[in-house]
């Protein structure tokens, strides 16, 4: 049997990796192998697909649990065992049927793969609904307020020359000698059987006398597709948005993993936003009025009272993030800037002030 990919190895994380560690590894690799950064590079595109598939399984607690159970009992060659191979103590023995009752009520191994991958398994390329995943970085304010973001993806589409048949114009078709027209082949031994699309006919059951010159017999070509993503207000980092029916060959879904870029002024805590505003020593000691920019670009006047301390926060009601009919507040965090150098006259004045105030220095 062909070895299944080990998802932990794909992302370069240990089995004990936390959800945050998995997310960080996915982001790093997704940026490195994203098709937009590697145009006309099929190896990078395939690697990007593997990374997305691994993240889809390992970032979901339920899918990861099922995957780990299969991996433990040798369902994945990456665990050091293949189907029907040597098992750990308490696991299945070589050549024996594997009792999957401890993994839940599944109709068979194909159903388990379907549950893990979130798509229909055991079918041909023509009846699968493939799911494409991509990562997109958006500005902080777009995530907070909502908006629309254009995204360009390179997706497989039906070849316009052969219409998806894989044959050159005028070619004749005969029954595939590998799968004998079934379109699928089975892998496995010792009670396991997993069906996969036939690699010779690509799941069609027939092979052409001459391959299509445009797609080289694959029946599909990779074309750029421009999509517009609607970002809901209050979108958080790591949110996954599903675009239904926008995937490969006009079927399946595109899942967009949102990465929120840090803002140079704001940071987020729930529905509240916090902005740091610097003031000088005189403003903090004597009090002042300062203009503060809100999340939606407005300017409000904030009164800084005398004796304001470094790190002190002031609340501007209902100027935070709005979601599901609720809106947070904006907080202004004061940072008192201390002069790095003082003139001799300024030092003398400060010493006099300290002595009269009873401050030690």
pLDDT tens digit sequence for 136-191:
999 999 999 999 999 888 888 888 999 889 999 999 999 999 898 998 887 654 44
In this structure, are residues 10 and 51 in contact, taking their beta carbons and an 8 Å threshold? Answer: yes
Sign for the pseudo-dihedral over CA of 179, 180, 183, 187:
negative
Please list, in sequence order, all residues whose beta carbon lies within 8 angstroms of the beta carbon of residue 254, skipping any fewer than 6 positions away.
131, 132, 133, 134, 153, 227, 242, 243, 246, 247
Helix (H) or strand (E) holding 157: strand 147-158
Report the candidate in 229, 259, 260 with the shortest Cα–Cα distance to residue 244: 229
Specify the CATH number for 266-357; select among 2.40.30.70, 3.40.630.10, 3.30.1330.10, 2.60.260.20: 2.60.260.20
Tell me, what's the pLDDT at 137?
92
Low-confidence residues in the chain, pLDDT < 70: 1-5, 72-130, 187-194, 250
CATH T-level assignment (fold) for domain 1-118:
Helix Hairpins (1.10.287)
The Cα–Cα gap between 55 and 31 comes to: 14
Report the candidate in 140, 296, 136 with the shortest Cα–Cα distance to residue 229: 136
Please list, in sequence order, all residues whose beta carbon lies within 8 angstroms of the beta carbon of residue 122, skipping any fewer than 6 positions away.
110, 113, 114, 184, 194, 195
The answer to whether the predicted template modeling score (pTM) of the entire model surpasses 0.85 is: no
How far from 66 is each of 25, 60, 154, 283, 310, CA to CA, in Å?
21, 10, 31, 60, 50
The Cα–Cα gap between 180 and 172 comes to: 17
Q: Mark 310-331 as b/e (b = at least 16 C-beta within 10 Å).
A: eeeebebeebbbbbeeebbebb
Residue 99 C-alpha from the chain's centroid: 34
Specify the CATH number for 129-260; select among 3.20.20.70, 3.40.50.720, 2.10.230.10, 3.40.630.10: 2.10.230.10
Report the candidate in 1, 58, 74 with the shortest Cα–Cα distance to residue 24: 58
Q: At what angle do helices 109-117 and 42-58 cross, to 10 degrees?
A: 100
How far from 58 is each of 68, 121, 131, 214, 259, CA to CA, in Å?
9, 19, 16, 37, 18
SS3 117: helix
Tell me, what's the pLDDT at 349?
87
Domain boundaries, the chain: 1-118, 129-260, 266-357
pLDDT in tens, 201-246: 888 899 999 999 999 888 888 888 888 999 999 999 989 999 888 8
Same fold, 1-118 and 129-260: no
Tell me, what's the pLDDT at 122?
38
């Amino acid at each position: 049997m062909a070895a299944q990919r080990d998802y932990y190895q794909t992302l370069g994380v240990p089995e004990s990796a936390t959800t945050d560690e998995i997310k960080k590894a996915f982001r790093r690799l997704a940026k490195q192998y994203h098709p937009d950064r590697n145009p006309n590079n099929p190896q990078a595109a395939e690697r990007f697909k593997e990374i997305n598939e691994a993240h889809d399984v390992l970032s979901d607690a339920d899918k990861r649990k099922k995957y780990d159970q299969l991996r433990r009992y040798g369902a994945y060659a990456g665990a050091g065992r293949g189907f029907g191979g040597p098992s750990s103590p308490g696991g299945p023995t070589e050549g024996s049927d594997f009792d999957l009752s401890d993994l839940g009520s599944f109709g068979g191994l194909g159903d388990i793969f379907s549950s893990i991958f979130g798509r229909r398994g055991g079918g041909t390329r023509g009846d699968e609904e493939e799911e494409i995943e991509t990562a997109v970085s958006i500005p902080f304010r777009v995530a907070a307020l909502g908006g629309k973001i254009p995204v360009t993806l390179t997706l497989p589409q039906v070849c316009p020359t052969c219409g998806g048949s894989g044959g050159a114009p005028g070619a004749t078709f005969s029954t595939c000698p590998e799968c004998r027209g079934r379109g699928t082949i089975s892998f496995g031994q010792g009670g396991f059987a997993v069906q996969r699309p036939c690699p010779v006919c690509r799941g069609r059951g027939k092979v052409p006398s001459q391959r299509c010159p445009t797609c080289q017999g694959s029946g599909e070509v990779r074309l750029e597709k421009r999509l517009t993503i609607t970002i809901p207000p209050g979108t958080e980092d790591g949110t996954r948005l599903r675009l239904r029916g926008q995937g490969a060959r006009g079927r399946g879904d595109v899942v967009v993993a949102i990465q929120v870029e840090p803002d140079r002024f704001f940071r987020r805590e729930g529905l509240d936003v916090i902005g740091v505003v610097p003031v000088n020593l005189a403003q903090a000691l004597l009090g002042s009025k300062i203009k503060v920019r809100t999340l939606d670009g407005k300017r409000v006047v904030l009164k800084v009272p005398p004796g304001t301390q470094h790190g002190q926060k002031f609340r501007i009601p209902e100027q935070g993030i709005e979601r599901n009919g609720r809106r947070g507040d904006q907080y202004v965090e004061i940072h008192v800037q201390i002069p790095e150098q003082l003139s001799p006259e300024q030092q003398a004045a400060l010493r006099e002030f300290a002595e009269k105030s009873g401050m030690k220095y």
